[in-house]
Structure 1
Amino acid sequence: MVWRNCWCKYSVTKGQTIEKRKRKRNGTVIEMKGFDINKLPATEDDIDYSDLEIEYSQTFLESGLDNVVLVDNLPVVDEAKEPKLVALLKKITKGVGKILEDGVHMPMGEEKGKRKSKGYAFIEFETADQAQDAIKELNGYRLDKSHTLMVNHFMDVEKYSRVPEEFVVPPKTEFVAKEHMKYWLLDELSRDQLCTLADQNITALWNNGGKVVETILTRKDWTETYLQWSTQGTYLMTMHRQGVVLWGGSSWNKIMRFVHLGVRLVDTSPQETYIITYSNEPLRVEAVNDVLGAGNEHLNPFTEADEGNHFCVWETQTGRLLRTFGYVTNDNGEPVTKFSWPCFKWSATENYLARMTPGSKISIYEAPQMTMVGKKSLNVPGVAGFDWRPNDDIKTRTRKNQDTIAYWFPEVDNQPGRVTIMTVPTMEILRTKNMISVKDISLHWNPTGDLLCAKVLRYTKSKKSVLTNLEIFRVSERDIPSEIVEVKGGVVAFAWEPQSPNHRFAIIHVDSADLNPPPINSSGMATAAVKSNVSFYQFVRSKSKLSVKESFVLLKTLEKKNTTSIYWSPKGRYIVLATLRTISVWDLEFWDLDAEVSGVSKAEAATASIQLLKQTEHYGVTDLEWDPSGRYVLTTASSWRHSMENGYVIWDFKGEQLLKSLQEKFKQALWRPRPPSLLSDSAKAKIRKNLSSYSSDFDEQDRVAASAANTEQINLRRRLISEWSSWRQTCSARIKAISDSAAKLGYVELKPIEQDQEVIEEIVEELIDETVEFV
C-alpha cells in the first residue's frame, strides 16, 4: 500500500534521527535486547526500527501533523505538468485556509522510464482547524469528469494502517427491540393526543371525544421554557439551558439530545430528518466543554470554526452536527439580529435549505453535505421574501430536481417590483411578474403546491390610500397562467382551504385607515379591536362554445367583524373566525362552507351553503388550533399573555363546548401532529364512497363512549364490593381460626340465650292502578 509505505519511511527517518541524538547526548552505548554482533543486517533497509517508531515517532506525529491533509484521486501527471496541478490545488484550497510555503508535496515515481505522480498529494496548512475545514469543503469535490477528490487527515493513514490483517469477529450484541415511535397512530379508537404545560408540569393526554381527557403521564420540570412537537409528531421537544431534548415512544423516553447552550428556537424539516436550533448566545467551545464535564470533551460537536455562530443544523436520528451559521450581515457589515422564524426554510423534499440576506441574496445549501448549490449564493438585489413550493405527492417527495422556490423584491430605483418562480438546483426561471407601486408582498402557497398567491399591497395613483391585488399563479399548468383578484383596502390575513377541489380561500381585509395594527401592550395583547371584513373566494371555470372563462369569484363577505385570525379545518369545509390576543373581545365563530341547502339555484348554492354554525366566545383566548382529524378545536388562554382564567377549552367542529379546564399558571397546549396519509386519492375516495358500511361500527363506538361515565362508575362500585367481600372473607377465616384454637385450649363458646320469638304480620295495601269510567 503506497500510503503505508510513505508513512513508514517518514516514521523511520524520525526514529533514526531521535535515536542518533540520544546516543550522542548520553555518550554511552545502549544495550539492545537480542543484539548479536555476528548477525548484523546486511543493508540499512534491513534494520528493524519498530521499537523506535513506537517509542518516539508516534507521539511526535500525533501532536505535530494535525494540520496535514492527504488529497487522493488526483490526475497522474508528469514533471512538466506538476506545477500546474500544484497551482490548481492551491487555487481550490484558497478559500478554506492558508497553505504553508512549500506546503504541497506530490510524491513522484518511475513509470516506463518517466517520472510521474502517484495520484495523491500532501498539503500542510497553518492550523489544524484549516485542515479540518479543507476536509469538509473539498472531500467529494469534483475536479473534472474523471476525478472526484477524497480528502482525509494525514493521521488517519496511521490509524487505518494499524488495522490487523486477520479479521476478528466482534462479539454479538443482543437485539434490543426499540419502542414504536408512532405508537399513538395504532390506537383502536383513533384518538389524538395533546400536551399541556401548566406552571412547571407537562401533561400528556388522550382526547376521548372531547368531553373527557385521559392522562397518559405528568412530569415536573420537563422543560425550562416551552414545549414543541416535531413536524410529524414523532418527537416532543423540550428546551433547556444546555440544549434541546427529544422524547418519544410509548414510555416517553429520551431519544436524542442536542447541545446548544441558551437555545431559544427550534424547527424540524418536513420529514423530521433534520433539526435547526437557534441561540442568541454565540457558540463557545470551552463553555460546551464545561457543561459536558472533564473527560467528555470528545463529545463536543463544535470546533474553533464554529465559534461565534448562532444557528446549528443537526441530523435528527444520529445527533450529528452538520453545520453552524452566524447571523447574516447588512450592507454596513453589521449582523442582522432581528428576523422571522424560521429564517432557514426547507424544501419539500428536504434536499435543500435556504435563507435570505435581506436586500441582497438567497443562499441555498444542499443536504446533508450543507454545501452551497452552485458554490455561490443567488444574487437578488432588494430581495425581501421567499418560500418553497410544498409537495404532498408521496411519489415525488424524495426525488431530485422537484423543488421550486418563489421570491420577490420591491421596486428598486427605476426597476419595478417582481415575483419570480424558479427551479432548484437548475436555477431555471419558470415565471416572472413585474409589479409597480408596491408597498409590500407576501407569498402563500396552496397546500398542494398547485397555486401560488402573491398578496400585493399597492398604493393608489394618489399615494393616499392602498389597495390589494391577489396575483394567483396556477403553477401546475402550462406557462403558469395567473389571475388577479382586486380587493379595496388592505388584506391583513390570507388562508387557503386544505384539500379543496375548488381552490377556495378566505381573507381578512380592512379599510386603508385601519391598516395599521392596533396598539399592543407589553404582553403582546391588542388594547383595541379593529373592525374587519371576511371574504370567501372560489375558482370557477365556465365553458361556452367559443371560449373557456376561468377566474376566482367572490362567494360571500361578512362585514363589520372583529376577526383577527382565520383557521381552516385540516380536512377543509369548516372554518373558525377568531378574535385572538385582545383585552376586550374574544369572539369565536364556527362556519360551514358546504352546508346542505334546498330551494336555491345552482348558481346561488355556493353562496347559500356558507352558514354560521355557532357564535360564542372564550374569555381571554390567545391561541387556537384544530386537531389533525378536523373534529375538534382547542383554544387556550395563556399566562404568558395575561392572568385571566388561564386554561384550555375543547370544542367540536360545530362550536359546541365539550370540555373546559382552568389551571393556575397555564401556559400552553398543543395537539400532537400526524404524519401525512399513505393512502392514494383513489383509496380515499373509495373509503368515502363506502363510508355507510362502517356506520354500524361507529354507532357502537359512540354508544360505548356515551356510557363511558356510567361504565366507569359501575366498575368503581364493583371494585369496592369485591374489595369488601374479600375483606369479609379474610375476617371470617381469621375468626374461625381463633375460635378453633380457643376450643383446643379449653375455652367454652358462649351461645346466646334462646328466647321465644313472636311473629307480627302486617298487611299493607298499595293502589297500583285506578280506572274511572263515565256512563
Structure 2
Amino acid sequence: MHAVDLNNAENDDAEPSFSDHEYDYTDSISDEELVGDVLRKKPQESVYELCCVIVCGIPVVGEDRLPKLKAVLGRLFARIHAQYKDNYPLESDGKTKVFSALLTVNDTFTSILRSCLTPIASFIELVGDVLRKKPQESVYELCCVIVCGIPVVGEDRLPKLKAVLGRLFARIHAQYKDNYPLESDGKTKGYCFLEYPTSEIAATAMAVLDGYILDKNHVFSTNTFADLHKFFDPDPQWKPPVPRPYTDFGDLWWWLQNDKCCDQFAVHYEREASKGCGGANPFVAVYEFSKGKEPQLASPNSERQGYCFLEYPTSEIAATAMAVLDGYILDKNHVFSTNTFADLHKFFDPDPQWKPPVPRPYTDFGDLWWWLQNDKCCDQFAVHYEREASKGCGGANPFVAVYEFSKGKEPQLASPNSERQNWTASVFQWSPLGTFLASIHHMGVALWAGRNFDRFARFQHENVAMLDFSPLEKFVVTYAMPDNRWKEDTDSLRIFDVQTGEMRKGFSLMQYQRDNNMLPHWPYFQWSFDDRYAACPKPGNNGISIYESEHFTLLNKKHIVIDNIRTFQWSPTRSLIAYYCEEKVANNAPAEFGLMEIPSKVKIRAQRIFSVSDAEMFWNKNGDRLAVHTERYQKKNVKSSGGVEDVKYSKLTSHIEIFDAREKEVSVLSLALTEQYVSFGWEPKEGDKFCVLVSTQHKVTPLIYALDSSKHTPQLISKFEPSERFTTVAWAPNGGWLTVYSANASGAIMFIDSNGTQPTQMALVEYPGFSKGYWDPTGRYFAAVYTIGGGKGGDTGYRIFTFQGKELFRKNLDRLIQFKWRPRLPVKLSDEKIKLIRRNFKTSFAKFEEEDKRERGRASQEVIAKRRKIMDEFMKIRARFIAAYKEEAQMRIELRGGMDKSEAEVEDLVDETITVLLTTEKVKLEEPADKGE
C-alpha cells in the first residue's frame, strides 16, 4: 500500500485537495472523519432484508433482450412506487440467471467511495485496511455496559464522581474505560458507559453492579449494548401479520408408494422461447422412470422456472409489492409468486417427528367441585395402603381409597368408585385446589376427576418417577430418570398442559442428576402464584432461569445471573422472588439475601451478612413478610482429604431476619435466638405471629412471637415449658391454633390456642412412632399418621383429632403408605360478610348446636336400627335351624334305639341387660343457697 502525502505542494496539480468544491470537503477534515462518514452511511442488514423482494417466474433472456425485459417489468414495478432498484444477474453466457438477480439496499456506501475517493487511489487501500480492522458489532456490544442510576452532578463535581465510581469499577477489573454523557447544562444524565477488555469481564460487572446500592437514593441497574433495541419505541406502523390460508399438501411421501417402485429424477435444461422472442427459457422438471417406458412427468406441476430479487426503499412499499405481484399473470406461461427474505425459514423441511394430535372423545365429568357442596361441609382424604391378599395367594394388594369424614362418624367412601386396587404404581397426589387426583404409572401420569373419579387426562412419560402441579392447576411437571446416566435425555423433565394434554416443553437435566440419576431437589420448577412464570436453577448453578408459561421461552431471552445462589422462593401472592446466595470467603463475598421483582428483575432489597454457614427462607401465607433463619459461626475449620474438603463450624448462633415487603422501602427486623434453632412456622391468617422451636441438650421450647409496628424487634408473647423433643411447627390453615409435634419414637403432639393475648396449651397427646401430621383445609381436624413403606410395623395407621386435641377416630392399617387431606378452593369472604357472621355468632351457634344434637340423635337411632337388623337376621337363621332340627327328630329317635332325649334336655336361659352410652351432657351444678340468707 502506498500512502499519499496530501500536504505535498508538488501534487497540487496532479491530485485535487480536500478543499476542492467539487468534493465538498474542508481543509481540516481528517482521514478518520472521512472513514466515519462512510461507515455511518453503511446500510444495516435488517433494512435490506425487509426492503428486498424476490420475484420468481420472470422470463430468461439474453443480454441483447435484457433492456426490453427491464423496460417491460420496470413499468410494472414503477406502478407500485416510483423509487425502486432492480438487478438481473447474468450467467457467463450473458443470459439472465435462473435462480436470482440480487439487489443491494442502496448505493450510498459505494457512491461515496467512488465520488470522494476515486482521485486518491492509495487512500482507497487505506480505507480497506481500516474497514478490515473495524471491530465486530458482536464484540463491542458485549464488552460495553450501561450503568443507570448514578448521581446527577454538575461539571464541577464530575471528577469526584468519577473517582468514587472508578474505585468501584476497578475492583471488577483494573482495565476499564468510562464515559459520562452530559446534558446541555453540563450535568450528567444519570447513566454512564463502561467498557471492559472482554465480554466475560463485562458479564461479571453486570452481575456485580446490577442492584448495587450506592446510597439510599441511588441503586444501579445495568444493561449491555446488545439490549439497546429493547428500549426503542415500537414501530408505530407495525401491524400483525396477515394469516395465510391453510394449504393441504397431502401425503408428502406419495412418491414412495408407487406400485411399481418407480424412481424419480430431476433435470435442469433450457428450452427455446416462443416464436419471435428469441433466446431460451430455463426449466426444471421432475420425471418418473420405469423400465421399458419413456420417462413421464411425475405430476402436472413438476416443471418450474426461475426467480429474481426486487428491492424497494421501505418495508411498507415492499409489502405492497408482495400483495400486488403475488399471483400476477405475466402471460399464459408465467405467474408470479412472492416472498420476503424473512420468510426463508418457512421453506425448511418440517419436523419429521411431528404428528397430528389425536382427538379425544368428550367425557362429561359433571361438576368437578361436587365435594365442596356437602351440606355438612365434610372433608375428604385419600389413603394408599396394602391389604392382605386372599388366602393361599400370599403377598398384599395395593389400594387407594378416598373417604369422607364427619365428626362423630366413621369415615365413609366418598363414592362407589372411590376405592380401587392398583390405582397407582407408586404414589398418588392431590392437585393444589383438590380438583384432580393424580396417579403414577409405568407409561405416564393420569388425572382423575368428578364424582366417579373418571380419567380426565393422561400424560405419556415412560418410567415417570415424580410429578408436580402449578398452583392454579394449569400445568403438570413430570420427571423420569434416564436409563443410561451417560446419555442425555432431552425430555427427561416435561411440562404438560392439563386441559389439552399437550407437552409444552421438555428439558434435559443431565448436568443436575446425581450418581443415582436423582435430582438434588424436587420440585425442580417453582411457579409464581398466578402460573405466569416458572423458575428453575440456571445451567451452571450461577443464577435463575425464568420461563414465561405462555410460550415457555426465557423471560426477556436472558437468564438472571446471580453468583453463588443456593436457593430461591416465589412470594405466595406477588411476582416477587426471594433468593439466598451463600458466602465465598476466598472472594470476600458475604452471604446475600434479597428480593427481586419480576419481570423487571429489579432488586428491591438485598441484605448481606458475613459468617453464615446455612440459611432457610419462609414466606408467610399472604406474601407480606419473609423470614430468613441464618446460622452464623465464629470459627471455621477446613480439612482437605483426597480432594474433598471437610468443613466444620464452631460456636454457632441462630438469628431470624424478617423482611417486610408491604412497603416500597423494604425494612428488615433482626432477632437473635439465645438457644439452638429447630423449626419455624408463620401464622397463616394475618401473618403477624410466628412460632419458633429452640432446643437445649435434651428438650425443646416452643416460643411464640408477635410483630408490632411500633417496636423494632419481634415481641415474645408466650414461652412454654421445655418438654418433649419437638421437631415441627404446624399452624392451622386459618391461624389461631397450632400444633408442635415430634415425628419420632417419642411421638408427642402439643395443641396450642394462640387466639388470645396469651397463647395457652390445650392438650398434650402421645402417639409413639407416628410419621407426619396434617391439618385439614378448614382447620377443624388434625390427622397424625404413622406410615411405613411396604413393610409391617407397629401401630401403623392414622388418628384424627379436633383442633383442641380431642381424639375423634383412629384406624390401624398394617401397611399404610400415604395419607392426604383433599385441598379446598380458596374462598375469600368480604369484610362485610365477616362482620355479619360475627354479629350473628350467638344465633348461629345455637342453630348449629341444635343441628349437632339432632345429628347425634340420628346417629343413635342408626346404631339401634343397625343392631335390631342384625338381631332380626340372627333370629331368622336361628328359626331356620330350629325347624330343621325338629324335622330330624324322628331320625334321632330311631338312631337312639327309640329313646327321645330331647324332653330331658332342660335349657336354662339367663337375661342380661347391657347399658350402652349414647349421648353425654354436661350440667353445671349450683351450690345450695345459704339458709341464713
Secondary structure of residue in 1 paired with 2:433? coil
Q: TM-score, normalised by structure 1?
A: 0.64
Aligned pair partner of 1:363 in 545, 557, 561: 545
Aligned pair partner of 2:780 in 614, 620, 631: 631
Q: What does 1:40-55 align with in structure 2 at a 5 Å threshold?
A: 52=299
- 2:762 is matched with 613
Q: CA deviation at 1:3?
A: 8.4
Is the counterpart of residue 198 in structure 1 residue 348 in structure 2? no
Q: Pick closer, same or farther for the CA change 1:560–1:660 going to 2, 3 Å.
A: closer
Aligned pair partner of 2:455 in 248, 254, 259: 254
Aligned pair partner of 2:609 in 426, 429, 435: 435
The answer to whether the 8 A contact 1:78-1:116 is kept is no
Is the counterpart of residue 408 in structure 1 residue 562 in structure 2? no
Aligned pair partner of 1:499 in 670, 685, 696: 685
Q: CA deviation at 1:195?
A: 1.0
Aligned pair partner of 1:592 in 713, 729, 753: 753
Secondary structure of residue in 2 paired with 1:329? helix
Q: CA deviation at 1:81?
A: 9.8
Instruction: Give me the whole-angstrom Cα distance separating, in 1, the residues matched to 2:478 and 2:771.
Output: 26
Q: What one-letter code is carried by the residue in structure 2 that aligns with 1:208?
A: S
Q: Pick closer, same or farther for the CA change 1:709–1:439 going to 2, 3 Å.
A: same
Q: What one-letter code is carried by the residue in structure 2 that aligns with 1:635?
A: A
Secondary structure of residue in 2 paired with 1:540? coil
Instruction: Give me the whole-angstrom Cα distance separating, in 1, the residues matched to 2:554 and 2:665.
Output: 29
Q: How well do the aligned residues superpose, as a CA RMSD in angstroms? A: 4.3
Is the counterpart of residue 209 in structure 1 residue 371 in structure 2? no
Q: CA deviation at 1:230?
A: 0.7
Aligned pair partner of 1:540 in 708, 730, 733: 708
The answer to whether the 8 A contact 1:79-1:115 is kept is no
Is the counterpart of residue 578 in structure 1 residue 763 in structure 2? no
Q: CA deviation at 1:712?
A: 1.3
- 1:426 is matched with 600
Instruction: Give me the whole-angstrom Cα distance separating, in 2, the residues matched to 1:7 and 1:577.
Output: 67
- 1:707 is matched with 857
* CA shift digits 1:360-415 (9 cap, x unpaired): 11110000311011212111110001000111xxxxxxxxxx51111110222212
Instruction: Give me the whole-angstrom Cα distance separating, in 1, the residues matched to 2:784 and 2:825.
Output: 22
Secondary structure of residue in 2 paired with 1:695? helix
Q: What one-letter code is carried by the residue in structure 1 that aligns with 2:554?
A: M
Percent of aligned positions that are identical = 24
Q: CA deviation at 1:507?
A: 1.0
Instruction: Give me the whole-angstrom Cα distance separating, in 2, the residues matched to 1:566 and 1:333.
Output: 31
Is the counterpart of residue 123 in structure 1 residue 345 in structure 2? yes
- 2:375 is matched with 188
The answer to whether the 8 A contact 1:282-1:307 is kept is no
Q: What one-letter code is carried by the residue in structure 1 that aligns with 2:453?
A: W
The answer to whether the 8 A contact 1:15-1:52 is kept is no
Instruction: Give me the whole-angstrom Cα distance separating, in 2, the residues matched to 1:662 and 1:446.
Output: 35
- 2:528 is matched with 347
Deviates more, 1:344-353 or 1:675-684: 675-684
Q: CA deviation at 1:691?
A: 2.4
Q: Pick closer, same or farther for the CA change 1:682–1:472 going to 2, 3 Å.
A: farther
Q: What one-letter code is carried by the residue in structure 2 that aligns with 1:510?
A: S
Q: CA deviation at 1:508?
A: 1.6
Q: What does 1:265-664 align with in structure 2 at a 5 Å threshold?
A: 265-281=466-482, 307-327=489-509, 329=511, 337-357=518-538, 359-391=541-573, 402-412=574-584, 413-460=587-634, 464-500=650-686, 503-511=688-696, 531-542=699-710, 549-558=711-720, 559-580=722-743, 582=744, 584-595=745-756, 606=757, 609-640=758-789, 643-664=793-814
Q: Pick closer, same or farther for the CA change 1:376–1:23 going to 2, 3 Å.
A: closer
Q: What does 1:232-251 align with in structure 2 at a 5 Å threshold?
A: 232-251=433-452
Instruction: Give me the whole-angstrom Cα distance separating, in 1, the residues matched to 2:797 and 2:477.
Output: 30
Q: CA deviation at 1:709?
A: 3.1
* CA shift digits 1:152-202 (9 cap, x unpaired): x9xx9xxxxxxxxxxxxxxxx999753111100000111100111110111
* CA shift digits 1:724-749 (9 cap, x unpaired): 9999xxxxxxxxxxxxxxxxxxxxxx
Secondary structure of residue in 1 paired with 2:862? helix
The answer to whether the 8 A contact 1:457-1:469 is kept is yes
Instruction: Give me the whole-angstrom Cα distance separating, in 2, the residues matched to 1:594 and 1:651.
Output: 19
Secondary structure of residue in 2 paired with 1:121? helix
Q: What does 1:162-181 align with in structure 2 at a 5 Å threshold?
A: 177-181=364-368
Is the counterpart of residue 219 in structure 1 residue 368 in structure 2? no
* CA shift digits 1:467-495 (9 cap, x unpaired): 12211111012301111111134323111
Q: Pick closer, same or farther for the CA change 1:79–1:485 going to 2, 3 Å.
A: same
Secondary structure of residue in 1 paired with 2:809? strand
Instruction: Give me the whole-angstrom Cα distance separating, in 2, the residues matched to 1:492 and 1:367.
Output: 37
Instruction: Give me the whole-angstrom Cα distance separating, in 1, the residues matched to 2:755 and 2:289.
Output: 97
Q: CA deviation at 1:682?
A: 3.9
- 2:464 is matched with 263
Q: What one-letter code is carried by the residue in structure 2 that aligns with 1:648?
A: Y
Q: What one-letter code is carried by the residue in structure 2 that aligns with 1:621?
A: F
Instruction: Give me the whole-angstrom Cα distance separating, in 2, the residues matched to 1:253 and 1:687.
Output: 38
Q: CA deviation at 1:110?
A: 11
Instruction: Give me the whole-angstrom Cα distance separating, in 2, the residues matched to 1:710 and 1:677.
Output: 34
Deviates more, 1:430-439 or 1:307-316: 307-316
Instruction: Give me the whole-angstrom Cα distance separating, in 2, the residues matched to 1:719 and 1:320.
Output: 54
Instruction: Give me the whole-angstrom Cα distance separating, in 1, the residues matched to 2:427 and 2:339.
Output: 59
Instruction: Give me the whole-angstrom Cα distance separating, in 2, the residues matched to 1:560 and 1:724.
Output: 53
Q: CA deviation at 1:591?
A: 1.1
Q: Pick closer, same or farther for the CA change 1:647–1:724 going to 2, 3 Å.
A: closer
Instruction: Give me the whole-angstrom Cα distance separating, in 2, the residues matched to 1:2 and 1:235.
Output: 39
The answer to whether the 8 A contact 1:327-1:337 is kept is no
Q: CA deviation at 1:677?
A: 0.6
* CA shift digits 1:649-707 (9 cap, x unpaired): 01111111111111121222111110111433443343233222322331232113322
Instruction: Give me the whole-angstrom Cα distance separating, in 1, the residues matched to 2:605 and 2:661.
Output: 9
Higher Rg: 2
Q: What does 1:758-773 align with in structure 2 at a 5 Å threshold?
A: none
Q: CA deviation at 1:228?
A: 1.3
The answer to whether the 8 A contact 2:583-2:590 is kept is yes
The answer to whether the 8 A contact 1:262-1:280 is kept is yes
Q: TM-score, normalised by structure 2?
A: 0.54
The answer to whether the 8 A contact 1:456-1:469 is kept is yes
Q: Pick closer, same or farther for the CA change 1:239–1:369 going to 2, 3 Å.
A: same
> Number of paired residues?
559
Instruction: Give me the whole-angstrom Cα distance separating, in 1, the residues matched to 2:819 and 2:591.
Output: 41
Instruction: Give me the whole-angstrom Cα distance separating, in 1, the residues matched to 2:800 and 2:514.
Output: 49
Q: CA deviation at 1:429?
A: 1.4
- 2:11 is matched with none
Instruction: Give me the whole-angstrom Cα distance separating, in 2, the residues matched to 1:21 and 1:594.
Output: 88
The answer to whether the 8 A contact 1:229-1:235 is kept is yes
Instruction: Give me the whole-angstrom Cα distance separating, in 1, the residues matched to 2:777 and 2:465.
Output: 27
- 1:230 is matched with 431
The answer to whether the 8 A contact 1:615-1:655 is kept is yes
Instruction: Give me the whole-angstrom Cα distance separating, in 2, the residues matched to 1:174 and 1:664.
Output: 41
The answer to whether the 8 A contact 2:481-2:517 is kept is no
